[in-house]
Structure 1
Amino acid sequence: MPPLRVEYRPFRCRARRAIAAVFALTAALAGLADTAHAAPETFNTALPVPKGEFIFREQFLYKRASDDPSPADREVEVVGGISVLGYGVSGDLAVFGVVPYLHKSLDVTLSGGERVMRTTTGIGDARLFARYTVFHDDAPGRTFRIAPFAGLEVPTGDDDDSDAQGRLPATLQLGSASWDPFAGVVATYQTLAYEIDAAVSYQINTAGDEFTLGDVARGDASLQYRLWPRRLSGGVPGFLYGVLEANLIYQDRNEIAGTDDPNSGGVTLFLSPGLQYVTRRWVLEAVVQLPAFQDLNGTALEDDFTVRAGFRFNF
């Protein structure tokens, strides 16, 4: 009698699907596949934009700040969208353009006790920058990259809007009327299960029309951890990541006609939980920035929260 043969086909099929999924993710990490990937939601990543490809990101923004210690009892809301277009010039060099479209409103109590709302809507100042990978270490299932970046914020937004009360406050204007250089460096470590990003940057805000925003220094960190599927297998259309980010931001005092404004600037730390759903070519994302610590100067207005939600895709 011939020996009895037992085939574990279901097991083999599951194993093949798991191996295929791991190989696909590993290939993407090693740069062998041009795919979308998890990334920070409040700052940039060091992962490359494939040569000759574009990446487009649209984030919808809602920000509220209302903790005003002054008698003016100010409440500020910002609603809008931030459009980002990136292009891979080479495997190491990518260039980006960022254009915000915003509606800003200020509820304020005037000195006579009257409560008024002041608003402005339009394109804000655009940001143009380049990012270059100076170091990368790729291996099966992981990659580590370091990429400095530098650019310029250009005065594309109106800086002289006015209403029935007169010219709007400089901080409510859509633009700054100044050309502001910035630079920094970002590092990314990505594996099959998670990604860690960290960045530091500094922006020099130059003089506008009798008003100068304070320089901004910031440090950012992000963890994206794969929540689903917990076990890799074939046929999964996408991956769900939990996101936790921290943003430490220091802003110097503003200047008005060459004199420091004592009610501006300070330090804020945001903690930002979020989610990302990542497929091969597109990403859905949402994050809430919550101020964990604020040490502002004088009567500078404190943030309540910021909500960002949007999408990203490669083409």
Structure 2
Amino acid sequence: MLVWDMVLMTGISRVDAGPITFNSALPVAQGEFIFRGQVVLSRSMNDPSTLDRDRQVLTIPAVLAYGVTRDLAVFGIVPYHEKRLELTTASGRVRRGDSGFGDITFLTRYTLLAIDRLGDTRRFAPFVGLKMPTGDDNQVDSLGRLPQLLQLGSGSWDPIIGTSFTWQTFDWEFDAAVQYQVKTKANNFEFGDQARADASFQYRLWPPTLGSGAPAFFYGVIESNLIYAGKNRVGGTIDPNSGGTTWFLAPGLQYVTRRLILEAIIQLPVLQDLNGTALERDYIVRGGFRVNF
């Protein structure tokens, strides 16, 4: 699971534009909650093997954040998954999959640097977290145990470390983040570690100039996601058909009010340098909302 694909927390006593596919460094106000809901659809049909695989994953993450202090925020992420894989075998076309709640992730973020000027806010905030094995990781169907990629949980405890940066003005916002997740062994299987670098630029499209009051705003969004995954290990043996590098470019839109954001984006792969017959991504579509209270 791509973890910070599920978290975006923002400003003080209001919601601001921000990245859709990863986290910003803007604070969660002390004593306030922010809830985020998304629907994420991922499709992978470009199969270099002879199995003609077609994988679809629908994820509905629920994210709750709380501002403990001005600089410290904590996050909890609970995802619901529907995973499906179709492939051609010697006995014909088969379909496998499962649905239910996946692994829960907890994260802590601390703002180390804050620069606030009129119309100009900059934040630098590292974060640490842990993905815990709360999802079912031993599901079976009529063909036997499901492949690990179709299990709702990994069965492993996976630590996360990273940092985020935000530069926000009245007209635009720039965000960047880097993250590394260590994958540990469970069920005689170990996913490859994952590293990612993300960037986002949001520009206010409407209204073109700011006036009095607190109107709604439309923002155009363009994001970049560079993701590297190491090779998986099965029974201690490296799987040569796993891991690699993927680069997404993602255009999106946001509708922003004082307490609510509606947002949508599509991630399109412009580079996929995967190992062996690893299944390539066709697209990822996201839509959702954020509200603070």
1:273-313 C-alpha deviation (Å, 9 max, x unpaired): 10111100010000101111000000000000010000000
SS at match of 1:171: helix
Deviation of 1:204 (Å) = 0.3
1:185 and 1:265 map into 2 onto residues whose CA distance is 23
Sequence identity percentage: 56
1:187 and 1:80 map into 2 onto residues whose CA distance is 26
TM-score, normalised on structure 1?
0.89
Structure 1 stretches of 4+ moved >4 Å: none
**Counterpart of 2:88 in structure 1: which amino acid?**
T
2:215 and 2:201 map into 1 onto residues whose CA distance is 22
Q: Which has the larger radius of gyration?
A: 1
1:140 aligns with 2:144: no
Select the residue among 149, 161, 186 that pairs with 2:139: 161
**Counterpart of 1:178 in structure 2: which amino acid?**
S
1:3-50 C-alpha deviation (Å, 9 max, x unpaired): xxxxxxxxxxxxxxxxxxxxxxxxxx9x7x511111110111100000
1:234 aligns with 2:218: no
Deviation of 1:236 (Å) = 5.4
1:194 and 1:100 map into 2 onto residues whose CA distance is 31
Equivalenced residues, count:
284
SS at match of 2:180: strand
**Counterpart of 1:160 in structure 2: which amino acid?**
N
Residue 77 of structure 1 is matched in structure 2 by 56
2:207 and 2:91 map into 1 onto residues whose CA distance is 57
**Counterpart of 1:142 in structure 2: which amino acid?**
D
1:179-229 C-alpha deviation (Å, 9 max, x unpaired): 000100000000000000000110000001101010000000000110000
Q: Which runs of 5+ in 1 are unaligned?
A: 1-28
1:91-120 C-alpha deviation (Å, 9 max, x unpaired): 10000011110100000111x141011110
Higher share in helix: 1
TM-score, normalised on structure 2?
0.95
Select the residue among 86, 101, 106 that pairs with 2:85: 106
| Residue pairs, 1:194-209, within 5 angstroms | 194-209=172-187
Residue 131 of structure 1 is matched in structure 2 by 109
SS at match of 1:101: strand
1:244 aligns with 2:222: yes
- Cα RMSD after superposing both structures: 1.1
SS at match of 2:149: helix
Select the residue among 242, 248, 262 that pairs with 1:264: 242
Deviation of 1:61 (Å) = 1.1
Q: Which runs of 5+ in 2 are unaligned?
A: 1-9
